[in-house]
Structures are given as structure tokens and as C-alpha cells.
Amino acid sequence: MEANKPTILVIEDEIGIQNFVSHILNSNGYHVVCAATGKEARIAYLSSCPDLILLDLGLPDLDGMVLIHEFKGWSPAPIIVVSARESEAEKVAALNAGADDYICKPFGISEFAARVHATLRSRGVLSPKGGEEQIMQTKDLVLDLDSYMVLKDGKEIHFTQKEFKCLALLMKNAGKVLTYDFILRNVWGPYSGTDNQILRVHMANIRKKLEEDPVKPKYIYTELGIGYRMLTD
Ligand code: CA
């Protein structure tokens, strides 16, 4: 797994453009996942948890606008529309629906790469200082989003990818109660069908690795029947 590379989901039904875009993105250091239909896009989203979505509006099974509305309801990933539709009304509609940028086909390679980079940077996925802003700290716990590393009191603790994402979400929202639903949506996605029980198992594993005494948690507190909270004091 290439943990350091941002993942980009390319939703595009024309194979020629899909290959072209993938090639540009690969050579710019991104990990690329492709989908040719709306249905494929939903599945690809769940398996890849992308940092950015590139979306063609003219898809065979549905209008790309539908996906913007869907993804924006719960996904933190920014969306760049890449479309042949040039009218201002369509651009405005896509941006109003929550798209972060709009690139018209045909487009130049360097402009395309620059806009992808700018969008990722504005979301903190790419940091101008090489990842310094990707580090979070709560008590003696340090989490580095760039390298997928967690240190407790200076010692590395290994987490699975899902455990890491749960922990990162809790640390990012330290002090706040996060509901089961919020964590499930953010880590597994809304179509996953994952239930509270799977989340509980993951949280139990995280605790086993973190807490010296799981009965008296120092880091993660259970809000019974509601969710979890990262303790800040
Ligand atoms: Ca198309």
C-alpha cells in the first residue's frame, strides 16, 4: 500500500480520457482509482476512500450531478468536475451543489495538474511544508497523517487502516462526542452497511493498543448509547 500518496477517484466513462487522466495523475505522484459508471463510483469510493474525486457529468447510468449531491452529503473528499458541458449555468449548478472546482474538456495537462494540486492543498491533503500540518497531538499521543504513524510517549503503535482512520477522526475532533453514525459514515462510508457492532470491535482494538487500563480510559471515553469522545485532559 502506498500510504503517502493521495488517492484520486476518477469517474469517467470514456476509456481514452480515463487513461489520459490516470497517466497525468500517476506521473504527478498520485494513486489513481477509476470508475466508469455511477454504480462503480459508489463501490470504488468505499474501497479506496479517496482524497479527491474527479467527476465527469455525462455518465451512462446517471447524471454526475446526482453523485455530487450524494457525496457532498457525507464525504469529506473535494470534487472537481471534469466535463464537456461548458455553459455557465451548468458550472454554477455544479459548484452550488458542492463541487470545489470545474475543468472544461478539452484541457491542458499542466493546468489540470495545477488545479488538482491546488484543491488537495486547500484541503490540507498536500501541505506546502512537506506534511508538518498533518500532525495531530492529544496528550502524549502523536498521529501523523502523512506517514500513517501513531506514537504514544514516543513509541510507535501499529494500527490497521480503519483503526487509524477512527483514531484520526477522534483526535481531529478531540473533546467532542462523535456519534456511532458520524464515525461509521466518515470511516466506512454510508453505503457500507457497517453497523455499530463492527465499530465497537474496532474501538475495542484501538483501546487495547492505547489504554493501560481499559476500564479507566485515559484517551477514549465511551458515551453510552451515543458514541465516543477523545479525552483532552
Ligand atoms: Ca462522459
Distance 167 CA to ligand 1 centre (A): 38
What is the residue extent of each domain of the chain? 7-127, 150-230
Q: Is residue 2's pLDDT more than 80?
A: no
Beta partners for residue 156, in sequence order: 151
Distance 64 CA to ligand 1 centre (A): 9
Cβ–Cβ under 8 Å, residues 180 and 173: no
Identify residues whose C-beta is under 5 A from ligand 1, the ion.
13, 56, 58
Q: What is the pLDDT at residue 130?
A: 45
Percent of the residues in the chain that have a pLDDT greater than 90, as a whole number? 49
Question: Which band of pLDDT confidence, cut at 50, 70 and 90, is reported for residue 128?
Answer: low
Task: Report the candidate in 117, 107, 111 with the shortest Cα–Cα distance to residue 52.
Answer: 117
For 200, the grid coordinates are 465497537
The rounded distance, in Å, linking the Cα atoms of 121 and 101 is 13
User: Picking from 25-34, 72-81, 146-155, which range would have the lowest pLDDT averaged per residue?
Assistant: 146-155
**From the CA of 181, how far away is ligand 1's center (Å)?**
34
Closest CA to 148 of 8, 22, 32, 7: 7
Q: Residue 179: count other Cβ atoms within 10 Å of its Cβ.
A: 14
Is-contact 173 220, C-beta < 8 A? no
CA of 65 to the centre of ligand 1 (A): 12
**Most confident among 9-23, 79-93, 152-166 (mean pLDDT):** 9-23
Widest Cα–Cα separation across the chain: 60
Q: Report the separation in Å between the CA atom of 175 and the middle of ligand 1, taken as the mean of its atom positions.
A: 44
Write the pLDDT tens digit of every residue in 212-233.
Answer: 987 889 999 998 888 899 998 7
pLDDT bucket at 129, cuts 50 / 70 / 90: very low
Q: How far is the CA of 15 from the centre of ligand 1 (A)?
A: 9
Q: Is the pLDDT of residue 3 over 60?
A: no
Residue 79 CA to ligand 1 center (angstroms) comes to 16
What are the residue ranges of helices labelled H in 80-160?
88-97, 109-122
CB-based contact 166:205 (threshold 8 Å): no
Residue 87, pLDDT score: 86
The class level of CATH for 150-230 reads mainly alpha
Establish whether domains 7-127 and 150-230 are of one fold.
no
Cα–ligand 1 centroid distance for 183 (angstroms): 33
Q: What's the gap in Å between 61 CA and the centre of ligand 1? A: 10
Three-point CA angle 158, 161, 167, nearest 5°: 75
How far, in Å, from the CA of 14 to the mean position of ligand 1?
6
Q: Which CATH class is domain 7-127?
A: alpha beta
pLDDT value of residue 207 = 94
184 Cα to the center of ligand 1, angstroms = 31
